[in-house]
Amino acid sequence: MPEDNHKQVSVAEFFEKNRHLLGFNNPGKALLTSVKEAVDNSLDACEDANILPDIEVKIQELKKGKYRMIVEDNGPGLNEKILQKAFGSLLFGSKFRSIGGKQGRGQQGIGISAVILYGQLTTGKPAKITSRTLKDKEAREYTMHINVKTNEPDVIASEVKTWKRKHGTRVEVEMEGKYVGTKQSPYEFIKQTAVVNPHASIIYTDPEGKKHKFPRVVEKLPRKAKELKPHPSGVEFGLFKRMSKDTKARNVKSFLTKDFDKVGGGTAKTILDTAKVDGQTMPKLLSDDQLHEIHEAIKITKIMNPSTDCLSPIGSEALAKSLESEYELDFVKAVSRNPTVYRGFPFQVEVAIGYGGELDAEGSVILNRFSNKVPLLYEEGSCALTKGIKSVTWKSYGLHNSSGSMPTGPAVIVIHIASTWVPFTSESKAAVSNYPAISKEIKLSIQEAGRALHLYVRKQRKAGLEEEKRQKFIGYSGEVAGAVAKLISKDSYKLKKEDLEQSVSKIQKSLLKTAETMYASGASLENVEEGDEDE
């Protein structure tokens, strides 16, 4: 085959031709994906700098099928060099600093730069990025494209800008899109984002100019996730081999103890003895066969579970408060399970159930799915979180569902998985894969929250039955009082109407007092009702 038939393309050029892989399948999803990536970027920037996020989102309709998206935050801002690379190059970001990692909203380093790429592809217009750090006297605005041939930023203009914020970043992108008002709308995304990020304040202005405010619910940042070394159980052979060649450790024993999480001296010795490899061997000199033996020995060696400091859960208290702020509810229960592990990766499941209030008593429950504090709005049916909800027998917990279906009743269910590596079903990161360890934790967390719901519903039903019983007592009192008045008065037929009514009133009050006493003690009217039927 002639050489001139072959061509190497940059990652930007590849994604320009395969934008569906990044969530830009159609105009409606493209607009939502753009908002998602920009908001995620803002939340990450603020949290990394220990700043409570204040985020503003605007979507402006320029003409039919054309929109301008503006997202600004109060984050730390970026210097010129980092800003141009972060917004003008795909696969550039802080996510690639280490092999181990920590929980984060994005794991690919593509997000916001893909939005700029989509904007220039569909409109030909450059993006405008404004940023200011605390040290800067003025903000600076950059008008830029992405050079798809080189995957490098192409800055068209740069100018000093007067800006209200002392620090932060503002992104403005024009794009083709379609504004929808369904479950997959920008409004729904922002509303759900506010639920699982109660420390953030978000103001959203829709294309009609209407402002939607989602105020901060808690004044405390979530626990910061720490960067961790990789756990050996989660490292595949190819990566293990590369790490052995790149390590600064002088011998293979030090390589195992210093470059991996939860491998101490004793554990390293056990692994190397099983693999029959000398612990003093330089890692760079290990043969492929020796590396394979070590890698296989890791699989059969008992190693402590990875550290969970790399996770940043919402927390049950904050999640409950946040759910109450978004919905009018009679009952809320939130559960944060203890972290556990699958394939060497730590993960944690959180669930909240809200019940009653403004919610529809007849339709399906409202289900909000999240991974690493990001709403999952697509592919609900294929997601392990949804399957976990359907696997529960909800009748036991006060709701209703037939086998394998969504429960019905006045409830909203929030389910969140946090992990350093969420196993998504596809590149669009819209649904979680059905791993047994994850499915088990999902079900256990739902059942734990469900038990609290069951107690509440049972208590409410009991209170309703008792009130019904009380009303029965009261209903009988007038009729019984009249009959008793006639019985105790020998000459009742001689009484004037007013005297008889006065007598009935006195007896009725006495009977009501007796009825209240009987009601409080749990007495029943069943025998009285049976006697009435006999007559």
Regarding whether 443 and 361 lie in a shared domain, the answer is yes
Containing 467, the helix (H) or strand (E) segment is: helix 436-488
Containing 302, the helix (H) or strand (E) segment is: none
Residues 6+ apart with CB under 8 A from 391: 404, 439, 443
407, part of any domain: yes
Regarding whether 528 and 410 lie in a shared domain, the answer is no
pLDDT level of residue 399 (50, 70, 90 thresholds): confident
User: Where does residue 530 rank: exposed (0-12), middle (13-18), buried (19+ CB within 10 A)?
Assistant: exposed
Predicted confidence (pLDDT) at residue 1 exceeds the cutoff of 70: no
432-467 confidence digits (pLDDT tens): 998 898 999 999 999 999 999 999 888 876 665 666
Most confident of 94-103, 174-183, 191-200: 191-200
> How many other CB atoms are there within 10 angstroms of residue 421's CB atom?
15
Residues β-bridged to residue 279: none
The span from the CA of 441 to the CA of 435, in Å, is 10
84, part of any domain: yes
pLDDT, average across residues 211-233: 91
SS3 70: strand
Q: What is the CATH number of the domain that holds 268?
A: 1.10.8.50
Predicted confidence (pLDDT) at residue 18 exceeds the cutoff of 60: yes
128, part of any domain: yes
How far does CA 218 lie from the centroid of its chain? 16
470, part of any domain: yes
The label of the residue with tokens 């409570």 reads: 52
Nearest 10 degrees: Cα torsion 3, 9, 13, 14: 100
Regarding whether 199 and 243 lie in a shared domain, the answer is no
Regarding whether 493 and 420 lie in a shared domain, the answer is no
Count of domains for the chain: 4
The span from the CA of 523 to the CA of 276, in Å, is 79
Regarding whether 245 and 199 lie in a shared domain, the answer is no
**Burial profile 80-99: b = 16 or more Cβ within 10 angstroms, e = fewer:** eeebbebbbbbebbebeeee
pLDDT, average across residues 399-417: 88
DSSP 22: G
Q: What is the CATH number of the domain that holds 154?
A: 3.30.565.10
Regarding whether 58 and 158 lie in a shared domain, the answer is yes
253, part of any domain: yes
Rounded to a whole number of angstroms, the distance between the first and last alpha carbons of the chain is 104
Predicted confidence (pLDDT) at residue 3 exceeds the cutoff of 60: no
DSSP 185: S
The span from the CA of 39 to the CA of 461, in Å, is 43
- Tell me, what's the pLDDT at 226? 87
Regarding whether 210 and 156 lie in a shared domain, the answer is yes
Cβ(223)–Cβ(312) under 8 Å? yes
Q: Which of 315, 319, 352, 350 is nearest to 333 (CA)?
A: 352
226, part of any domain: no
State which residues form the domain around 405: 316-458
- Tell me, what's the pLDDT at 228? 85
Final residue of a structural domain among 214, 245, 267: 214
Regarding whether 53 and 179 lie in a shared domain, the answer is yes
SS3 531: helix
DSSP 61: E
Regarding whether 236 and 200 lie in a shared domain, the answer is no
200, part of any domain: yes
70-129 confidence digits (pLDDT tens): 999 999 999 988 999 989 888 766 554 555 678 888 655 468 888 998 899 899 999 999
Final residue of a structural domain among 188, 214, 240: 214
- Cα angle value 145/150/152 (rounded, 5°): 45
Regarding whether 360 and 414 lie in a shared domain, the answer is yes
- Tell me, what's the pLDDT at 490? 47
Regarding whether 406 and 347 lie in a shared domain, the answer is yes
Residues 6+ apart with CB under 8 A from 535: none
480-530 confidence digits (pLDDT tens): 655 655 555 545 455 455 555 666 676 666 666 666 665 555 555 444 444
The span from the CA of 499 to the CA of 503, in Å, is 6
328, part of any domain: yes
- E strands within 115-272? 127-132, 139-147, 152-161, 168-176, 201-205, 211-214
Containing 66, the helix (H) or strand (E) segment is: strand 66-73
Final residue of a structural domain among 458, 475, 497: 458
Q: What is the CATH number of the domain that holds 341?
A: 3.30.230.10
Regarding whether 417 and 329 lie in a shared domain, the answer is yes
